[in-house]
A = this chain, B = another copy of it.
Amino acid sequence: MNTFGHAFRVTTWGESHGKAVGCIIDGCPAGLEIDEEFIQKEMSRRRPGGEFSSKRKEIDEVEILSGVLDGITLGTPISLLVWNKDVDSKPYEELKTIPRPGHADFSYFAKFGIRDWRGGGRASARETVGRVAAGAIAKLILRKYNIRVFGYAREIGGIRFSVEDPEKAFEIAERSPIRCPDPQKEGEAEERIKMAMSEGDSVGGIVELIAKNVPAGLGEPVFGKISAYFAYALMSIPSVKGFEIGRGFEVAKLKGSENNDPIVLKDGKIRFATNNAGGILGGITNGEDIVMRIAVKPTPSISKKQKSVDYERMEEVEISVKGRHDPCIVPRIVPVAEAMASLVIVDCMLLQGLIPRSFVGRT
């Protein structure tokens, strides 16, 4: 339920305005050097900041409580914790019994008969802190195998960005406040976001994710397809409403002869001439780059007037959501999506026996 993964298992916990958020990573191989600076850097990539995002300011310092001795993993559960410091629940008080449109408030209440009204509670994007921290450790493992997972905004507020070389696109995007990989369109996209902000509104977009150097043979037949697993992982991120791999929804318009990737010899190895499949055939990796995209909805928290119902008084009301919100969540979803994809790959490599239970010693 709150656990992700089979061999590399991450359990996240914590409410947005509770004492802390965190996660436990179970199944991390022993003998891994934990680069705390790198983890912290990944946390910063997720953190709000700049003019295009929420004003909540958190240092998000990760405390490692277990599983690591002298900077080396022990093979035991790694418990990571981040205290919630800059919390202000007041703006939410007037919505204690009024579910916000586009939010999980109503469905959580329908499920549990009770909900944490403070800042979205468990359904808040704050929950992704634990994902990014765990994903950072997964990336440390992938680094050993020269596997890179990265992403950028592919579309924001209806403006599509051009990408030729994904690796360069990533570099450019990392320097952009909105993770835009296309300098030609960046200004226009920022304008679109500002416009929405000024209207008390928000915009959505599309994130593109690439995984390079993933070995062929990952994923399990039938229900363990790595494509299904990626879909599951990425659709579990708040605000994601669609997932596609390779050419994705475009395949609906292609013929078999256009869509099939010809199999060829390159440098004496079996490879694919094109990559419409996005690196996955029959749910198992084929050695080509994995290419995925997810659709991100516009932030539901908007100050524009919206209709809702007070479920205590069973009465229709008009509300305006206050608090500090991102007018566009797309840039901040990029590191979360990278984290989830990294978790999937590490998990499948462990299941395939490509990562040992320990990087040291005699086992």
Contacts and interface: CB of A to CB of B under 8 A. Distances in A.
Interface stretch (A136-144, A180-188, A296-304): A296-304
Contacts of A359: 113
A162 interface: no
Contact of A281 (B104, B121, B202): B104
A147 interface: no
Contact of A13 (B24, B284, B315): B24
Contacts of A351: 7
Given A231-B228, A265-B316, A295 B248 contact: yes
A293 B127 CA distance: 28
Number of copies: 4
A228 B217 contact: no
A220 B11 CA distance: 13
A26 interface: yes
A363 B13 contact: no
Most-contacted residue by chain B among A107, A202, A265, A357 (CB, 10 A):
A107
A241 B231 contact: no
Contacts of A360: 112-114
Interface in A278-309: 278, 280-287, 295-302, 304, 306-309
Contact of A112 (B12, B31, B99, B265): B31
A224 B1 contact: yes
A220 B79 CA distance: 17
A257 B18 contact: no
Given A12-B222, A221-B1, A254-B297, A280 B236 contact: no
A69 B114 CA distance: 10
A283 B201 contact: no
Most-contacted residue by chain B among A75, A243, A252, A357 (CB, 10 A):
A252
A274 B358 CA distance: 29
A306 B121 contact: no
A155 B304 CA distance: 36
Interface stretch (A39-47, A49-57, A203-211): A203-211
A70 to B, nearest CB: 10
A163 interface: no
B221 A265 contact: no
A306 B21 contact: no
A18 B64 CA distance: 10
